[in-house]
Structure 1
Amino acid sequence: MRKILTSLQLSLTRRSRGLGLAALIGLTPAAALAPQPLAAQGLFSPAITVNGDVITRYELDQRARMMHLLNAPGDPATMAHEALIEDRLKAQAAKTMDITIAPEDVQKGFDDMAKRANMSVDEFLEALKQGGVAQETVRDFIKSSLLWRNYIGTRYGARARPTPAEIDRAISQAGQGGGLQVLLSEIIIPVTPQTLDQVDALAQEISQITTSDAFSAAAAQYSASDSRAEGGRLDWLPLNRLPPSLQPMLMGLKAGDVSAPVMLPNAVALFQMRGLRETGVAEPHYSKIDYAAYYIAGGRSPEALATAARIEQTADTCDDLYGIAKDQPPEVLDRESLAPGKLPRDVALELSKLDPGEFSTALTRNNGQTLVLLMLCSRTSDMAADVTKDQVGQSLLEQRLQSYAQSLLAQLKADALIEEQ
């Protein structure tokens, strides 16, 4: 689903996840790598003005420290510079519509960050203090994110909301496909509680890629999918094999477009559209997907992947896995037959690429400690599409709001008077 939020906003709106202090401040001690303290002289002097609004050197230093604590990829100083300029532009836009954020909403966002870090508020404050980040810096960041979200929703919500006819048309296009096939590239980035913020920031950066070569390079570097060896490039896929909740979003991409980050269990996915074609031959719909999941300890370690490779050479059908799992605990092997809409999204995505008897090793469980050897057993055809109008409507709304937000921010930057001091 497309999002209009930054990586932090994605975290704030997501269910609470355990995140230890080591993950919050990174594996390297903050004092060793954090930006060095500014001299007292000139601490609050202007560094940048954005349409007359001042950004101080203190704010730049604080934001850089915060980005460092979040272990965001890239140079913290550069990211702080760009993010604070955007924050000023967002605040100025929100002011034109008298949009404000209640203190209790900011406090809730702050409390949610502490909970997600598996800390009390006091412990969270102490972690910020150790990293040299004032709590006001985090509160300002949260406030800016909420302001922008509310402003985009207020300004474009009515315009972006799809009509019943548009929803029906999207269902017709995505759910009944009639031979529609998509040519995609993918990046699947594993997520653990310890890497959640870093992966969020990385995924947001990748979503801004504009060329196929850059996307393929990112896939080769970051993706855990089996397609990474091909730069994330997939072969033509029938649209209705893909997870029903993703189909409307993919239909909204033009050639070359990169999707916003899509949350999966234990991973974040991004897609680049390379092509869309009508084959003229109707693709079947499926009422049931039969698959097996064999769990291997060790995550994506060489040993676990080697075990998976040996099983792939041995098993020709899903039934063969029962013999391999013999005398092992029953939980080592799952066999399921589910409607497409009931599949976990990451499982559905991997199965969409497989023919019966083929395997995938892209998924993990148990915070990355267990490798999933996924095997497609069979697909049962059915004429009914498994997608609801609510799912399609929400997907279209989010997609349009994201597009409006990106376009408006780019225009605000182009029109702004930005002066470096």
Structure 2
Amino acid sequence: MTSQTNSKITFRGIALALMLPLAGASVVVPQIATAQGMFDPVVKIDGAAVTRYELDQRTKLLKLLRAPADPAKLAREQLIDDRLKAQAAAANGITVDDAQVRAGMEQFASQGSLNVDQMITLLARGGVAEQTFREFVRAGLLWREVTQARFGQRVSVSKEDLEFARTTVSDGSGVRVLLSEIIIPYTPENQAQVMEKARQLSELTSTASFSAQAKQFSATQTRDSGGHLPWQPVTQLPPILRPLVLDLAPGEVTAPLPLNGAVALFQMRDIQETDAPDPVYTAIEYAAYYIPGGRSADALSRAAQIDAQTDRCDDLYAIAKGQPATVLERGTKAPGEIPNDIAISLSRLDPGEVSYDVTRADGQTLVLLMMCSRSQTQTAGAPSPAAEGETAAPDETAQLSAQIATRRLESFANGYLEQLRSEARIIEY
């Protein structure tokens, strides 16, 4: 992900997709900056200018991404860094081609369950030009290549490093959260209105108000309880939710999270540190049974009937007997490979439990999900230490080694960027 290549930024998710509707409104194409002075420099870095137009565009982009800082100040800092990174790339003979940039844009957009074209459309509605997004991604890719080329050979992880990490990170503590949820489905016809309502809900700070809104608007099976979820270890949440949730104080609500035909919001009710280490799930086995009719009364009644007739995933084969093979799917995936809407729905379930708040085919098909099992092999933050006389599993060792190497590479990169800043002639206007 491009944003990960810039260690100075940690966004609350990819929130621009949460703020703007995908459909139901005309696209406003950003106008080319023609006002006098828009292309005047606001800062020069060793003679390379950042224009007022670029600063305005980056500021708008950061506002849409809901960067956790003053957007105008952060935009200026980023653009200065981008010039320094580009100069370092040129000095090292490093370039990235259009195909690499396009792939980076796709990867960035995918964090919000979008494709590039959808992302560009959303940005345009917020007044951000495609080229601004493209250059934002290009800067991150260039810097990743620069730091890898310059420091990659200097980063190594020894056995002592691994043992020290296991000892210091596996401290037996964990984090669990108490959340409430609201998930509101939408159609192409009412998407703009639903997204506007979601934006309003994201400003709530009262748990009672959020609960009341959940009872009125949420389409999940938790609506009757005001959207209340039980205590969960943070590692049981889908990967896309973890950083969003951990950024909340009690009472705060996430920015609206776009899903497939729905938008989700989560409120932090409480958070606790525990003495027990958090489980880390490496694989989720689940089944999906497809029911025609979407969220119609008949489809929901059929889902409730299946829920009453089944206790485990194997029972669904009897339900699907005599129907096309495509009506039932069952498989095992890593948490990060599961679509966000399905992952969120599964995170509430214990093995044998079902949910039916996800749809497909533009809302025409209801998906009954059943949790089969979760594979747990290690504690959060580091692989489980090996028992005496044993060695850690190779994949766990490789994962921890990669984490250590990444942190070291980031440290080298940050130091190099500070050096470039200190040596550069930066003139601000």
Partner of 1:372: 367
Contact 1:175 1:240 in 2 (8 A): no
Contact 2:180 2:266 in 1 (8 A): yes
Contact 2:289 2:369 in 1 (8 A): yes
Q: State how far apart, in whole Å, the 2-side matches of 1:175 and 1:366 are.
A: 44
Q: State how far apart, in whole Å, the 1-side matches of 2:368 and 2:184 are.
A: 17
> 3-state DSSP class of the match of 2:222?
helix
Partner of 1:197: 192
> 3-state DSSP class of the match of 2:375?
strand
Residue 325 of structure 2 corresponds to residue 330 of structure 1: yes
Q: Could you report, residue by residue, the CA deviation over 1:57-111 in whole angstroms, capped at 9, with x for unpaired residues?
A: xxxxxxxxxxxxxxxxxxxxxxxxxxxxx9xxxxxx97998xxxxxxxxxxxxxx
**1:244 aligned residue (214, 230, 239):** 239
Q: Could you report, residue by residue, the CA deviation over 1:268-294 in whole angstroms, capped at 9, with x for unpaired residues?
A: 111100001123112321121110011
Partner of 1:66: none
Residue 346 of structure 2 corresponds to residue 381 of structure 1: no
- How far did 1:24 drift? 4.8
**2:342 aligned residue (329, 342, 347):** 347
**1:227 aligned residue (222, 228, 232):** 222
> 3-state DSSP class of the match of 1:248?
helix
Alignment of 1:387-398 (within 5 A): none
Going from structure 1 to structure 2, the CA distance change for 1:363 and 1:141 (only over 3 Å counts) comes to closer
- Structure possessing the higher relative contact order (Cα contacts under 8 Å, 6 or more residues apart): 1
Between the two proteins, the alignment pairs up a number of residues equal to: 267
Q: State how far apart, in whole Å, the 2-side matches of 1:7 and 1:288 are.
A: 28
> 3-state DSSP class of the match of 2:205?
coil
Residue 260 of structure 2 corresponds to residue 298 of structure 1: no
Contact 2:303 2:356 in 1 (8 A): yes
Partner of 2:278: 283
Residue 241 of structure 2 corresponds to residue 218 of structure 1: no
Give the root-mean-square deviation of aligned CA atoms.
Answer: 4.5
**2:311 aligned residue (300, 307, 316):** 316
- How far did 1:175 drift? 12
Q: TM-score, normalised by structure 2?
A: 0.53
- How far did 1:210 drift? 1.9
Going from structure 1 to structure 2, the CA distance change for 1:331 and 1:205 (only over 3 Å counts) comes to same
Q: TM-score, normalised by structure 1?
A: 0.54
Alignment of 1:172-211 (within 5 A): 178-211=173-206
Contact 1:297 1:370 in 2 (8 A): yes
Q: State how far apart, in whole Å, the 2-side matches of 1:339 and 1:184 are.
A: 23
Going from structure 1 to structure 2, the CA distance change for 1:292 and 1:8 (only over 3 Å counts) comes to closer
Contact 2:278 2:380 in 1 (8 A): no
Q: State how far apart, in whole Å, the 2-side matches of 1:176 and 1:299 are.
A: 46
Residue 249 of structure 2 corresponds to residue 259 of structure 1: no
Contact 1:292 1:334 in 2 (8 A): yes
Q: State how far apart, in whole Å, the 1-side matches of 2:289 and 2:374 are.
A: 19
More deviation, 258-267/286-295: 258-267
Q: State how far apart, in whole Å, the 2-side matches of 1:201 and 1:225 are.
A: 19
More deviation, 193-202/328-337: 193-202
Q: State how far apart, in whole Å, the 2-side matches of 1:6 and 1:284 are.
A: 30
- How far did 1:177 drift? 9.0
Q: What's the % identity of the aligned pairs?
A: 46
Q: State how far apart, in whole Å, the 1-side matches of 2:210 and 2:304 are.
A: 27
Q: State how far apart, in whole Å, the 2-side matches of 1:175 and 1:232 are.
A: 33
Partner of 2:88: none
Q: State how far apart, in whole Å, the 2-side matches of 1:362 and 1:175 are.
A: 37
> 3-state DSSP class of the match of 1:270?
strand
Going from structure 1 to structure 2, the CA distance change for 1:140 and 1:324 (only over 3 Å counts) comes to closer
Going from structure 1 to structure 2, the CA distance change for 1:362 and 1:178 (only over 3 Å counts) comes to farther
- How far did 1:6 drift? 8.6
Partner of 1:168: none
Q: State how far apart, in whole Å, the 1-side matches of 2:172 and 2:247 are.
A: 14
- How far did 1:196 drift? 2.6
- How far did 1:10 drift? 5.9
Q: Could you report, residue by residue, the CA deviation over 1:223-273 in whole angstroms, capped at 9, with x for unpaired residues?
A: 111111111111111110001232122111001111111122222111100
Going from structure 1 to structure 2, the CA distance change for 1:291 and 1:178 (only over 3 Å counts) comes to farther
Going from structure 1 to structure 2, the CA distance change for 1:308 and 1:6 (only over 3 Å counts) comes to closer
Going from structure 1 to structure 2, the CA distance change for 1:322 and 1:252 (only over 3 Å counts) comes to same
Contact 1:287 1:339 in 2 (8 A): yes
Q: State how far apart, in whole Å, the 1-side matches of 2:178 and 2:187 are.
A: 29
Going from structure 1 to structure 2, the CA distance change for 1:188 and 1:369 (only over 3 Å counts) comes to same
> 3-state DSSP class of the match of 1:255?
coil
Amino acid across the alignment from 2:176: Q
Task: List gaps (5 residues or longer) in structure 1.
Answer: 12-18, 26-85, 87-92, 98-114, 117-138, 158-173, 394-421
Going from structure 1 to structure 2, the CA distance change for 1:140 and 1:369 (only over 3 Å counts) comes to closer
Q: Could you report, residue by residue, the CA deviation over 1:359-392 in whole angstroms, capped at 9, with x for unpaired residues?
A: 1111111111111111001111121769998xx9
- How far did 1:3 drift? 5.5
Q: State how far apart, in whole Å, the 2-side matches of 1:222 and 1:371 are.
A: 18
